[in-house]
Amino acid sequence: MVVAIVHSGHDAGSLSVSGDAAMLPPPSLFKGVVDNTSSIAASLGNGGFGIDSAAYFVLVIASIQWLLILISHCVLQRRYVKPRPFVSRPSEHYPRVTIIRPMKGVDMDMYQTLESSFQQTYPSDIEILFAVEDPEDPAIDIANKLIKKYPKIQAYVLIGQDNVGTNPKINNMIKAFARAQNDLLWICDSNIYTDPGTLRRSVDLLLDNKRLGVVHHVVFSESPKTFGAMLDHALLVTNHCRMYLAINAVGIASCLMGKSNLYYKSALESAGGLESFGQYLAEDNMIGQALWHAGWGHAMTGDIAYQPADIGTFAEYCSRHIRWIRTRKYNVTFATLYEPLTESIVLGSLAAWALNHLYSFNVYLVFGTFFLSWFAMDMIFFYRINRRSAPDWFWFVLSWGCRELLAFPLWAIAIAGNTVVWRGRKFRFHLNGTVKVVT
């Protein structure tokens, strides 16, 4: 799932740790967490970790989760609700940037997603490198049309594959990484669309803080057309997006999704180069951790990486999210095992039991209140961060409910296995998070 120490700069769209602290609730709202923690300590001192202690522990977890929800809404208000102005600095202060777009096959709305790289309002020069393995890939025609349409921008299609590991995306990008003429790299998946000011605001953060090593953008799904896509949409625009903002705001560990990230090429080379991450499927997470441990900070702008909801069937949705959870299990094990406690049904059920056990509250009333409050917070979050056309609310609410019901079963299935299928190939995980190709 989701990391970042977010540093501040002069850009009004950036977010600093101190700035977030100013947006957080007053200390009095933390009292419940402190009181529950004290109760657990007292219970442990009087006879070990019993049923009462377990109930208090659940309430602490529930309090923490609601605090994270509150933090995500604070970040949303500060960074995403209103457009942020650019930093005022001379254009010659902006470095040249290389944009790497790995491609395989034709994605949904691919012409528009790729064109967004050409439409960046950036004060300096950009270089765009399209990386593709197969010379017969139909994505090449789309890239060439855009290169012809924007002749003033240096853009090239690089064909071929370097087998530096088992991760096909890394193998595809190596040639572009080696060819890149600039130290600033923006690695952006082929199915991602970004607004024209995204690159400039991202570079502003890097220029204002020399210890930043990554600027990344939260992923937001849009335009679902099938039930499977609606489920994926409901996850990405509520639970995933909300937790991504909250965890990165807290900034206690690296939490990175590799859909749209800016790096220094020199920083990646000091971490072993892109090829050193070729043995992992979750290369984005591993790159984030490597830079984090090397002392490079992470930051986010108020920009969004828009991804057309390209899932066709219910089975595809289940397969994708089982793959994601299973991959995370071998790279961020504790966070993945903890995931059910970030879901409304599991946590709401446990909280209802705990309040019934300790204070004789009605289980159904507590769970109903918990679930409806969670639902309301997710709907408010989506309504406020959504900058596109309004969805069909009936189908959105229905898909949200189905997604919540499916969360724990899919997690349980994912935890039980050690293989995934991605891009037509089957991979088996080793305990250290590396993978090998099975078929």
Q: Which residues are catalytic?
A: 284
* β-pair partners for 420: 427
Closest to 187 (Cα-Cα) out of 131, 149, 137, 231: 131
How many whole angstroms separate alpha carbon 55 and alpha carbon 360?
A: 12
At residue 386, what is the residue type? N
Q: Are 115 and 195 in contact (CB under 8 A)?
A: no
How many whole angstroms separate alpha carbon 406 and alpha carbon 425?
A: 25
The CA distances from residue 338 to 237, 256, 325, 346, 412, in Å, are 21, 17, 12, 11, 12
In the block, residue with structure tokens 């108020």: 302
At residue 222, what is the residue type? E
DSSP at 281: S
**Strand (E) positions, 285-355?**
297-308
How many whole angstroms separate alpha carbon 233 and alpha carbon 253?
A: 26
Q: Are 43 and 50 in contact (CB under 8 A)?
A: yes
Instruction: Give me 172's structure tokens.
Output: 């595809």
Terminus-to-terminus CA distance in the chain, angstroms? 27
The CA distances from residue 181 to 144, 186, 208, 266, 437, in Å, are 20, 12, 23, 12, 33
Q: Are 260 and 188 in contact (CB under 8 A)?
A: yes
Greatest Cα pair distance in the chain: 75
How many whole angstroms separate alpha carbon 225 and alpha carbon 210?
A: 43
How many whole angstroms separate alpha carbon 155 and alpha carbon 102?
A: 13
- Pairing state between β 97-102 and 126-132: parallel
Instruction: Give me 198's structure tokens.
Output: 């995204």
Q: List, in order, residues 6 or more apart from 92 with CB less than 8 Å away.
A: 124
